[in-house]
Amino acid sequence: MLRFPCLVLDHDDTVVKSTPAIHYPSFVETLKTLRPDVHWTLEQYVCYNFEPGFEAMCRDILCFTPEEMAFEEAGWRAWSAAHVPPAFEGLAPLLHRFKARKGLVCVVSHSSEETIRRDYLRHFGFEPDLVFGWDLGKDKRKPAPWPLEQIMARFSLAPEQLLMVDDLKPGWQMAKSRGVPFAFAGWGCGVEPIRRFMEANADFFLDRVEQLEALVLEE
């Protein structure tokens, strides 16, 4: 038996290198139009996504109106449709071996379901067993626990049979709220404040994909 029968994976900067390739450059373009006096580095952008989170960043720091939020989302969707971010090295063989042992691969992400399924087919040749993306709305997207509840109900799994793998706080919050073990995807995050938080709070602090492989394929 697998130690964790179900992997619950974040997508951005956990499976694919999408913040530097898609999210940050598309956001920079948005700022040029909506807040031309605001100039954030990639690290600042990642830190704000960690705390207070993307929606709060837009609402409370940048004070985007609903119309401006719609403009930002439209630009992000266009950029996402036009670019396929690279996958982190080592994930393809890990996921293939995990699936070969009848493991379940579910995705809980702030990317769209369409983008997630496209990236999995492109990089891994299969689609996840379940996908919970941005389009579900605030009450059903992480850090709300709804995705984990759906996964456990669908596959009759206990919390300890899941492993949530993420590089940011919403995934950790979601996992903690339902007693699901959490692994920090450190290979996708080099920002020190985030790494310090995860080192103190994650159940598993992983710096390399190989460490995840050793963890989930341990029987």
- Span 61-70, average pLDDT: 96
Residue 82 contacts residue 74 (beta carbons within 8 Å) = no
- Span 129-151, average pLDDT: 95
Secondary element (H or E) of residue 169: helix 169-177
- Span 41-51, average pLDDT: 91
pLDDT in tens, 80-102: 888 899 999 999 999 999 999 99
The predicted model scores a pTM of 0.91
Where is pLDDT greater, at 97 or 137? 97
In whole angstroms, what is the distance from residue 219 CA to residue 215 CA? 9
pLDDT more than 70, % of the chain: 99
Residue 95 phi, psi dihedral angles, 5° rounding: -65, -35
Query: What local confidence, expressed as pLDDT, does residue 138 receive?
Result: 86
- Strands in 6-9's sheet, in edge-to-edge order, are 130-132, 104-108, 6-9, 162-166, 182-185, 204-206
pLDDT more than 90, % of the chain: 87
Q: Above 60 in pLDDT, residue 158?
A: yes
Cβ atoms within 10 Å of 80's Cβ, excluding its own: 21
Query: What local confidence, expressed as pLDDT, does residue 185 receive?
Result: 97
Closest CA to 80 of 106, 48, 118, 47: 118
- Span 50-67, average pLDDT: 92
Query: What local confidence, expressed as pLDDT, does residue 1 receive?
Result: 77
86-124 exposure pattern, b = at least 16 Cβ within 10 A, e = fewer: ebbeebeebbeebeeeebbbbbbbbbbbebbbbbbeebb
Residue 22 phi, psi dihedral angles, 5° rounding: -130, -60
What does DSSP assign to residue 145? S
Residue 111 contacts residue 134 (beta carbons within 8 Å) = yes
3-state secondary structure of 40: coil
Query: What local confidence, expressed as pLDDT, does residue 53 receive?
Result: 86
Query: What local confidence, expressed as pLDDT, does residue 38 receive?
Result: 96
Q: Where does the pLDDT of residue 219 fall: very low under 50, low under 70, confident under 90, or very high at 90 and above?
A: low
